[in-house]
Amino acid sequence: MASLQKHRVGGRTYWRIVESRRINGKPRAVPILYLGTADDLLDRLLEGPGGDLRIHSYQHGDVAALKAVADRLGVVSIIDRHVTRKARGLSVGTTLLLAALNRAIRPRSKRAWASWASQTSIERLFPKLRVNNLGSQFFWDQMDCVPVEALQRIEDDLTKVVVEQLGIRLDTLFYDATNFFTYIASTNTRPKMPQRGRSKQKRGDLRLFSLALLVSRESQIPLCSHVYEGNRVDAKSFPDSLSRIRERLEKLSLDVEDLTIVYDKGNLSKDNQHWVDESPFGYVASLVPTHHQDLMAIPVDDYHPLGGDCLGDIPVLRLTRPIWGKERTVLLFISDQLQSGQIRGLLQHLKKRIQELEQWKTELVKPRSGPRSVASAKKRIESMLTAQHLKKVLKIEYDPARTGSERLRYWIDEEARRDLEKEVFGKRILITDRSDWSDEEILLAYRGQSEVEEAFRQLKDDEHMAVRPQYHWTDQKIHVHTFCCLLALLLGRVIEREARGLGYCEGLSGLLDLLGTVRLAMVLRSSGKRGGRPRCEWKLEESTPEALQLFKHLVPNEPPFVYT
């Protein structure tokens, strides 16, 4: 229960609202709100009708729901069990959870964390917390206590708790990798992990670090992660990730022979597939089509409609072929989406090149214009036909014996274009050792690869879960920061799973936005007696039935959560 208390500062009397809380086992009066002088307090009380005054409201629903999930999983105790070093103030586990809450709800830098937290009910949910004391240096000191090797042990325990509590089925798992850019200067030689490479966010001018992730088919729960150098291609890091995955699955006491891991062609190579072949679990993987021209040369007329309940009449062809020294089940199919995209891409390239050719013909009209030699003209033509498949479709000739624009001729080979669209575009090649699976089961497993891609899209969403902004300058801090982001994703996925059970169709970001509409208000109520002390009450503001239903399902009706 809150009460009114006076205190003197500089010889003047001021009033504040305090609440009795136990700190280190002893009762302490903790200030909640400073009201000013007696005249200020009287003026504010007279503002509210009937003696009630709504002082301030805080963003509450999303913070409370995420903390409730973290409490249920025992996140803080798991982290603190594996981190032996201590810093001042809060425990390391509590600090990392606070950082994860910010990443989930409104990603900000550590310097801006306190400003964000002051608008939420975080102080109410963490009784020992004082928001204004948590600056960037505090977070850095706490993060510095976490050894990189401890993060994998923390992930082991968290994954086991999540799988056991939620009963997640781990029959099919999806693996992929991506990278994130940083603002670490090139002159900073201390970190070794951020390196320049091919940025998937189109920021090749900045140093990158990479993240490989394994997620479950059910609920897209992150199960295993691997952070590594930004200049290592995905295929080179795959063996290391595979070792981590195998260790993680064995610690979950699973029968790994019943598991199937799905991965894309970017992670595949002959050596990598050899590693997978020696592993106890099954696989579904895609091949690079241009590396297997014999399979691509099989005519589409040999394909047949799938006829499945889920995927319809997709053209497919199932074979058994020796690939990389082993007989494998091969499934070829045509993706309508890929085929349409490749056709659009070809048309865009054709349009651009035809515009360039018309401009060249215009230049050739002028006297003494054009290439100095046939060789230079040939070189210019070759540079125009570098785009994939363009050389097969667009034909260009340059004849110096002619004059003016007649020296340049071009046309589109319509027959070659039709052959590309029918026999090449849209073809994909899958391999698997699940020879007992149907064509539809193999295709459904591969299509589930989009689940891990969705996790990466969420981690690059500026509104929720984003890895950016990322202002850390050492390898160890980058590892810990990435762990906080993945912890936020884990908590969010649990919320999404619970919401799906209630019939909510929104995505993870939409669900967090919906919960964010549930706000907590502090209300001062008059005692009804002149000179009597006003009473303070915490109440939920009115919200939509959908938001309140989800809030009450996720948040338990017990302290420190407000549930009115």
Q: What is the DSSP string of 23-48?
A: ETTEEEEEEEEEEESHHHHHHHHHHS
Angstrom distance (rounded) from CA 101 to CA 96: 9
CB of 14 closer than 8 Å to CB of 7: yes
CA dist 96 → 67, 72, 90, 288, 356 (Å): 12, 16, 10, 41, 55
Q: Over the chain, what is the mean pLDDT?
A: 88
Q: Which of 35-44, 251-260, 517-526, 547-556 has the highest mean pLDDT?
A: 547-556
Peptide linkage before 469 cis (omega within 30 of 0)? yes
Q: Ramachandran region of residue 220, left (φ > 0), alpha (ψ -120 to 50) or beta?
A: left
CB of 130 closer than 8 Å to CB of 38: no
Lowest mean pLDDT among 32-36, 130-134, 217-221: 32-36
Over residues 67-92, the pLDDT tens digits come to: 999 999 999 999 999 998 887 888 99
User: Which residue type sits at 541?
Assistant: E
Edge-first strand order for the sheet with 26-36 is 2-9, 12-23, 26-36
Locate all alpha helices (DSSP H) within 48-135, ordered by sequence.
61-73, 75-82, 92-105, 113-117, 122-125
More confident site: 12 or 484: 484
Q: How many CA atoms lie within 13 A of 259 on its CB side?
A: 25
Count of H-run helices and E-run strands, the chain: 20, 17
Confidence of residue 472 (pLDDT cuts 50, 70, 90): confident
Query: Helices 92-105 and 61-73 meet at what angle, rounded to 10?
Result: 140
Angstrom distance (rounded) from CA 415 to CA 421: 10
Of 390, 423, 456, the position where a domain reaches its end is 423
Over residues 282-308, the pLDDT tens digits come to: 999 999 998 999 999 999 999 999 987
Angstrom distance (rounded) from CA 372 to CA 477: 58
Please tell me whether residue 295 adopts helix, strand or coil conformation.
helix
User: Which residue type sits at 380?
Assistant: R
* Pair of tokens at residue 1: 């229960």
Which residues form the domain of 37? Answer: 1-47
Please tell me whether residue 58 adopts helix, strand or coil conformation.
strand
What's the domain count of the chain?
Answer: 2
Confidence of residue 480 (pLDDT cuts 50, 70, 90): very high
Q: Write down the pLDDT at residue 52.
A: 47
Q: Write down the pLDDT at residue 446.
A: 93
| Most distant CA atoms of the chain, gap in Å | 108
Please tell me whether residue 262 adopts helix, strand or coil conformation.
strand
Confidence of residue 310 (pLDDT cuts 50, 70, 90): confident
Query: What does the pLDDT average to over 310-329?
Result: 91
* Total length of the chain: 564
Q: Is residue 419 part of a domain?
A: yes
Q: Is residue 228 part of a domain?
A: no
Q: Write down the pLDDT at residue 534.
A: 67
Q: Is residue 409 part of a domain?
A: yes
Q: Is residue 102 part of a domain?
A: no
Angstrom distance (rounded) from CA 289 to CA 295: 8
* Pair of tokens at residue 198: 């091919």
Angstrom distance (rounded) from CA 82 to CA 45: 50
| DSSP one-letter code for 533 | P
Cβ contacts of 292 within 8 Å, gap of 6 or more: 323, 429
Q: Is residue 518 part of a domain?
A: no
Q: Is residue 345 part of a domain?
A: yes
Confidence of residue 464 (pLDDT cuts 50, 70, 90): confident
Q: Write down the pLDDT at residue 222.
A: 94
Q: How many CB atoms lie within 10 A of CB 504?
A: 18
Query: What does the pLDDT average to over 143-161?
Result: 94
236 alpha carbon, distance to own chain's centre: 22
Res 462 pLDDT > 90? no
Lowest mean pLDDT among 35-44, 53-62, 454-463: 35-44
Q: Is residue 364 part of a domain?
A: yes
Question: Percent of the chain at pLDDT above 70?
Answer: 94
Please tell me whether residue 287 adopts helix, strand or coil conformation.
strand
- Is 336 exposed, middle or buried, given 0-12, 13-18 or 19+ CB atoms closer than 10 A? exposed
Query: Helices 234-251 and 270-278 meet at what angle, rounded to 10?
Result: 10
Q: Is residue 109 part of a domain?
A: no
Please tell me whether residue 294 adopts helix, strand or coil conformation.
helix
Confidence of residue 33 (pLDDT cuts 50, 70, 90): confident
